Structure 1
Amino acid sequence: MEPEALPDWVIPPPGGFTADDFLRMRGLPRHTELIDGSLVFMSPQRRWHSRVINLFWVQLDRQAPEGLRAEREMAVRLAKRQVPEPDVMVVTAEAYDEGPATYHLPEGLVLAVEVVSPDSEERDRGTKPAKYAAAGIKHFWRVEEDEGRAVVYVYELDPGTASYVPTGIHHDRLKLTVPFDIDIDLNAVGSRP
């Protein structure tokens, strides 16, 4: 009996995978990302992480004005070797309805949200925000856990430096006017939206 052939993606090519390679791959584990040409596999989500994603996805979609939609865990083709998967994002209605079926392009994103997990701290705090900023995504939020509570770090793109600058840290309530009027009770993590 011959051993089963390994999938093509097990061994990366010299220089790493490209976004085109990545988007053609089949059989990858759920929520695999392409960062700097390398495949990054996500560990299973903890309940807290999943609940925060659900809360933000539902509330952002509910509160978004006409012309914007919230989406969760969808790939974003940022650059030649970059295809991360934000936990939640707000996209234009056009990108939501008419864009590619399996990923978004950065010009369709208004906001990227990352919910930090123990295995993603460095990527969510440094690597991915830098790549989102370089791609021109105007708004980025990082959600951290503090003793079971959600803390949201809000950033906006400085076009002069093409990097994010912090605009606030929110503990109990996230109330903003950009990218649109938003009011989310952060204590609702774990309760029904």
Structure 2
Amino acid sequence: MTSLLETMAPYEMTGSWAVWPPSESYDRTSDISFPVGDLDGVLHARSIILGLNPGESSVERTPWQNFHTAPRHNDHFLAEAFRDTPHWGAYMTDLLTEVNSKSNTLDLSDKTIHRDVVVLVEQFQALGSADPLVIVIGKKTAKAFKEHEPVLAAALGLASVRWVAVPHYSAANGALHGNSPDKYRRLVLEALQDTDCLL
């Protein structure tokens, strides 16, 4: 039987999974690299975590590295937020394909997003999840996703896509999460509290 890791290998340079090396909690000093090892039974497609776009990396990208990079990207916030939740092991990807760390310069035109939704549909279909819960990270992602959700739903044969928005984990959103992984976790769990029964 083919593993999800093998199935999704065509997207390994942009996609990833909500799994990090084991830790009781995650902070700036934690190892947040993508764990190498047996992940059968851990990875799943019941929920899909969606960012806006891949940020620029100061190091050469390796497979499944997205969402598992240096502390300056605050990726340890994600590890802490999803630790010991039903979403640990979920597939992670971005709405847009443009690699850009400056979200205010992104091409958010309907044409671009519509084009990239096609790529997103391909990933959803490859995952084989009939009706996943999509966890959308940040207000910009949520706005763009909401506008294009009908396109995604139609392509997946659904009346609508189940989705929920959570705050962004970036340092730029520090006024909300106080640059605290623990506080960010609480905000995310609060946003997700009514969704776990839907998995």
More helix by share: 2
Q: Hey, which of these two has a bigger chunk of strand by percent?
A: 1
Q: TM-score, normalised by structure 1?
A: 0.34
Which is bigger in relative contact order (C-alpha 8 A, separation at least 6)?
A: 2
TM-score (norm 2): 0.34
